[in-house]
Amino acid sequence: MIRLGSMLPQAFMIGITDLVNIIGPEKTVKWLIQIGRELAETQGPGLEGAPEGDLNYLPICPFSDELIHFIDMFGERPKEFQTIVEYVKEREAANTDKVECPAVASILCLMHHAYRVKRAEMAGYGTLHLACRSVVTGSKPAYNEEAIAKAGVTKEEVDKILEKGVCIFKFVKEE
């Protein structure tokens, strides 16, 4: 049985799967990014995450509980979720400015990255998204090698932070 408090997030994720089938992954990705930006505007300027030297990280994903509940309910990640992740990775492979791309381990990384970037932008910062990992068992970490290099850290340093967190980024003061 679905608890009443869980219905809206689950309906949202069902809607994502339907959108992929109705309008395709490209427009669904744009929609998720737009939602993230609009959420950020409701929160205002700010930087998130726990500091770790010059980097910030999130110990937990703000969307992980809902994603886990959704997968528990349906028994697996919908193929549409993977379709979105694959589309984003193909799009990033063709992007000439890869340092600006998010590391994407799950569909909700897109929305969260857009949210984080917009809030940082409103606070006068740029954002480098170095890596993330999904809490869903079997998911491999996602890295942005160009952002890692621009941040001046090694992949090994990033992996060390990933042991205690799920998302690593660097805020860069815009001049």
Domain that residue 155 falls in? 4-173
Q: What is the pTM of this model?
A: 0.88
Give 22: exposed, middle or buried? Use CB within 10 Å, 0-12, 13-18, 19+.
exposed
Contact 105, 141 (CB under 8 A): yes
pLDDT (mean) for 37-64: 93
User: What pLDDT score does 167 carry?
Assistant: 94
Tokens in use for 28?
Answer: 């669904």
Tokens in use for 153?
Answer: 């850290």
Express as a percent the part of the chain with pLDDT over 90: 56
pLDDT (mean) for 59-73: 82
User: What pLDDT score does 46 carry?
Assistant: 96
Q: Is the pLDDT of residue 44 over 90?
A: yes
User: What pLDDT score does 5 carry?
Assistant: 61
User: How many domains does the chain fold into?
Assistant: 1
